[in-house]
């Protein structure tokens, strides 16, 4: 691995605390603190993403196990944790920061693209807020596999280079019910063009460090926003517009594939519009706009599936507040926010069009989508299986409601079947207004509706096996997620079995990681 080519642009550009002091504290005036990882004795490789290593310029001939767990690093690698702030569950939380993420710096590939590298779970930092800075195998597997799954689904996301067991035992009270357990420790080395969050900007605004705020915006524009001209007088406003656009696109993609993030706090919002921080997330099994996988999010369901567009808007409002000191134009900021709201549903409908195989969005589609959504919500049909069934049947002249029986999580009643029949009739009528042929419709649908999704119960089973030393299921999932739109064994495509309905880790999760 070319770890000697790692550079430190961010460290070179911004004020940092080089004391190396790991004590928990506020770090006013600084955007990062240099830190060192904990020492681990018995490393064990679970996964090395060779393709990604090659893509980002780290090379692929061999992997360096110690590097993958931040051990015995060469002198050229400066390790650091950044300070950021955020709104958590709607409330200002002040300084947060990388509590268990440590940066290695950046690496460049042949195309001059840079990627930041970050270990998650290799030790405490000044931002750990009395937690241990460790990650358990369970949560590391979930981050590794899901971030890669999102990449192959075509959703903007951070990625995962490796997964290594640290050999440590870590204590976690997974259900927060006073029953702590020892779990195996692990670390994911994750990769992104940048890990900058809304929270980094919020922190600088809250600390009134306006010069650094402007510097950070310029840094982001220069390095990550080719759509923004850093020499333009309106660069700051253009930057906000670009973040809003990217955020909307990301959330639309979440809706397309049926992803629920679970903790959309502003510190978990990437400024680049990448899906970041895979915690108590879930893919949708049965369709439910009210579904939140995160037990900490009950009973309010702030981060439920159907609220994600609205919450992103709220988070953008917090970012607008943070950028105000350098933009100073409330009307212009508000206009962007208003446009976000109206454009969002248009983008959403365009996305649904593709899922249904419609070539263009027609006026009649809005009521059609509303009726469809209400049916999905009332019948709680499996989101992915529903669209796969529709895609399979689209070449047939007469669709049969019974073909959808597999999408139910309960025994369908006569009324349920009648509802599907009505929907199919409308759908057939709408299809006939398409200009493209049925095979073209089917192709459009196949490209926009994944067949394989990484369901929580599949992860749960793979994690249980891995904790017992068997990596067969983990490897099968890792392979399957690389071709989500292709064909797979039926076993990998099955909806959540009933036995998992109430099992912790299958339909409900906590933030414990
Ligand atoms: P999250 O809700 O997972 O996004 O985490 C919110 C904040 O808590 C972030 O600043 C994390 O870095 C920090 N955090 C979460 N878990 C740990 C941990 N085990 N050790 C240290 N910091 C943590
Ligand atoms: Mg986080």
The 10 Å CB-count burial string (b at 16+, else e) for 370-406 is eebeebbeebbbbbbbbbbbbbebbeeeebebeebee
Is 96's C-beta closer than 6 angstroms to any atom of ligand 1? yes
The closest-lying atom of ligand 1 relative to the alpha carbon of residue 84 is 10
Give phi and psi for 170, each to the nearest 5. -125, 135
Q: Are residues 379 and 345 in the same domain?
A: no
Q: Nearest C-alpha to atom 15 of ligand 1 is from which residue?
A: 99
Can you give the pLDDT at residue 453? 98
Where does the pLDDT of residue 130 fall: very low under 50, low under 70, confident under 90, or very high at 90 and above? confident
Catalytic one of 17, 98, 238, 267: 267
The closest-lying atom of ligand 1 relative to the alpha carbon of residue 268 is 4
Q: Is residue 35 part of a domain?
A: yes
Can you give the pLDDT at residue 20? 96
Average pLDDT estimate for 119-135: 96
Q: Is residue 461 part of a domain?
A: no
The closest-lying atom of ligand 1 relative to the alpha carbon of residue 124 is 21
- Given a cut of 80, is residue 421 above it in pLDDT? yes
The closest-lying atom of ligand 1 relative to the alpha carbon of residue 133 is 20
- Given a cut of 80, is residue 397 above it in pLDDT? no
- Cβ neighbourhood burial of 72 (10 Å; 0-12, 13-18, 19+): exposed
The span from the CA of 331 to the CA of 333, in Å, is 5
Contact 163, 144 (CB under 8 A): yes
Mean pLDDT (the chain, rounded)? 97
Q: Are residues 288 and 400 in the same domain?
A: no
- Which residue from 131, 202, 261 has its CB within 8 A of the most atoms of ligand 1, so it is best to mutate? 131
Q: Is residue 506 part of a domain?
A: no
Q: Is residue 338 part of a domain?
A: yes
Can you give the pLDDT at residue 513? 87
Q: Are residues 245 and 96 in the same domain?
A: no
Cα 15 to ligand 1 centroid, rounded to whole Å: 23
Q: What share of the chain is helix, strand, coil (3-state, %, to 5)?
A: 45, 15, 40
Q: Are residues 50 and 108 in the same domain?
A: yes
The span from the CA of 469 to the CA of 473, in Å, is 11
- Given a cut of 80, is residue 313 above it in pLDDT? yes
Cα 433 to ligand 2 centroid, rounded to whole Å: 46
Q: Are residues 298 and 377 in the same domain?
A: no
Q: Is residue 233 part of a domain?
A: yes
The span from the CA of 408 to the CA of 226, in Å, is 45
Can you give the pLDDT at residue 63? 87
Q: Are residues 221 and 189 in the same domain?
A: no
Average pLDDT estimate for 320-326: 98
Is 99's C-beta closer than 6 angstroms to any atom of ligand 1? yes
Q: Is residue 341 part of a domain?
A: yes
Most distant CA pair in the chain, distance: 72
Is 97's C-beta closer than 6 angstroms to any atom of ligand 1? yes
245 annotated active-site: no
State how far the alpha carbon of 480 is from the alpha carbons of 177, 450, 451, 484, in Å: 35, 11, 10, 7
Can you give the pLDDT at residue 396? 86
Q: Are residues 211 and 183 in the same domain?
A: no
Q: Are residues 248 and 323 in the same domain?
A: yes
Domain-terminating residue out of 353, 368, 398? 353
Q: Are residues 20 and 160 in the same domain?
A: yes
- Percent of the chain beyond pLDDT 90? 95
Domain-terminating residue out of 353, 384, 411? 353
Is 512's C-beta closer than 6 angstroms to any atom of ligand 1? no
Which ligand gives the minimal distance to the CA of 125? Answer: 1
Cα 271 to ligand 2 centroid, rounded to whole Å: 13
Is 266's C-beta closer than 6 angstroms to any atom of ligand 1? no
In the block, tokens 């009726």 appear at: 371
- Which residue from 100, 168, 511 has its CB within 8 A of the most atoms of ligand 1, so it is best to mutate? 100
The span from the CA of 132 to the CA of 37, in Å, is 12
Average pLDDT estimate for 143-170: 98
Q: Is residue 414 part of a domain?
A: yes
Reported as a single tens digit per residue, the pLDDT across 491-511 is: 999 999 999 998 988 888 988
The closest-lying atom of ligand 1 relative to the alpha carbon of residue 98 is 12
Is 81's C-beta closer than 6 angstroms to any atom of ligand 1? no
- Percent of the chain beyond pLDDT 70? 100
Q: Is residue 276 part of a domain?
A: yes
Reported as a single tens digit per residue, the pLDDT across 18-77 is: 999 999 999 999 999 999 999 999 999 999 999 999 999 999 878 899 999 999 999 999
Q: Are residues 250 and 151 in the same domain?
A: no
Q: Are residues 179 and 266 in the same domain?
A: no
Q: Are residues 187 and 204 in the same domain?
A: no
Q: Which residue range(s) make up the domain with 178?
A: 3-195
- Given a cut of 80, is residue 147 above it in pLDDT? yes
Domain-terminating residue out of 425, 448, 471? 448
Cα 3 to ligand 2 centroid, rounded to whole Å: 26
Where does the pLDDT of residue 394 fall: very low under 50, low under 70, confident under 90, or very high at 90 and above? very high
Q: Nearest C-alpha to atom 20 of ligand 1 is from which residue?
A: 133
In the block, tokens 């949708």 appear at: 284
Average pLDDT estimate for 410-429: 96
Contact 309, 344 (CB under 8 A): yes
Number of domains in the chain: 3
Q: How far is CA 433 from the centre of its chain?
A: 36
Cα 51 to ligand 1 centroid, rounded to whole Å: 29
């Amino acid at each position: 691995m070319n770890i000697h080519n790692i550079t430190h642009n961010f460290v070179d550009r911004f004020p940092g605390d080089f004391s190396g002091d790991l004590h928990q504290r506020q770090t006013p005036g600084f955007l990062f603190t240099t830190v060192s990882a904990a020492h681990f004795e018995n490393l064990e490789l679970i996964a090395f993403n060779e393709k990604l290593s090659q893509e980002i310029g780290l090379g692929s001939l061999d992997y360096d196990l110690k590097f993958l767990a931040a051990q015995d690093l060469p002198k050229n690698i400066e390790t650091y944790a950044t300070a950021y702030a955020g709104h958590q569950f709607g409330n200002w939380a002040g300084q947060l920061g990388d509590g268990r993420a440590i940066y290695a710096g950046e690496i460049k590939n042949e195309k001059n693209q840079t990627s930041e590298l970050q270990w998650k779970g290799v030790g405490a930092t000044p931002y750990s807020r009395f937690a241990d800075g460790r990650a358990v195998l369970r949560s590391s597997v979930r981050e590794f596999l899901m971030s890669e799954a999102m990449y192959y689904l075509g959703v903007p996301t951070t990625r995962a280079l490796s997964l290594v067991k640290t050999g440590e035992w870590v204590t976690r009270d997974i259900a927060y019910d006073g029953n702590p357990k020892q779990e195996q420790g692990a670390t994911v080395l994750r990769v992104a063009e940048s890990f900058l969050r809304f929270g980094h900007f919020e922190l600088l605004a809250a600390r009134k460090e306006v010069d650094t705020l402007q510097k950070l915006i310029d840094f982001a524009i220069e390095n990550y926003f080719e759509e923004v001209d850093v020499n333009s007088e309106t660069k700051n406003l253009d930057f906000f517009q670009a973040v809003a656009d990217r955020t909307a696109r990301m959330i639309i993609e979440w809706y397309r594939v049926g992803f629920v993030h679970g903790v959309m706090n502003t510190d978990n919002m990437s400024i680049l519009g990448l899906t970041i921080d895979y915690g108590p997330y879930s893919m949708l099994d049965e369709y439910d706009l009210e579904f939140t996988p995160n037990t900490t999010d009950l009973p309010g369901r702030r981060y439920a599936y159907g609220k994600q567009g609205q919450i992103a808007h709220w988070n953008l409002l917090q970012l607008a507040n943070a950028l105000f000191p350098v933009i100073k134009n409330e009307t212009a900021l508000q206009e962007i926010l208003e446009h976000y709201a109206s454009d969002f549903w248009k983008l959403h409908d365009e996305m649904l069009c593709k899922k249904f195989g419609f070539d263009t969005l027609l006026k009649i589609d809005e009521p059609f989508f509303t009726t469809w959504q209400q049916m999905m919500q009332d019948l709680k049909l499996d989101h992915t299986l529903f669209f796969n069934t529709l895609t399979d049947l689209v070449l047939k002249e007469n669709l049969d409601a019974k073909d959808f029986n597999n999408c139910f999580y309960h025994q369908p009643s006569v009324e349920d079947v009648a509802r599907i029949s009505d929907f199919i009739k409308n759908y057939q009528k709408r299809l006939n207004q398409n200009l493209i042929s049925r095979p073209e419709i089917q192709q459009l649908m196949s490209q926009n509706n994944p067949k394989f999704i990484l369901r929580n119960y599949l992860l749960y089973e793979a994690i249980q096996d891995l904790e017992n030393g068997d990596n067969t299921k983990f490897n099968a999932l890792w392979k399957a997620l690389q071709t989500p739109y292709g064909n797979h064994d039926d076993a990998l495509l099955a909806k959540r079995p009933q036995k998992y309905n109430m099992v912790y880790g299958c339909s409900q999760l906590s933030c414990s990681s």
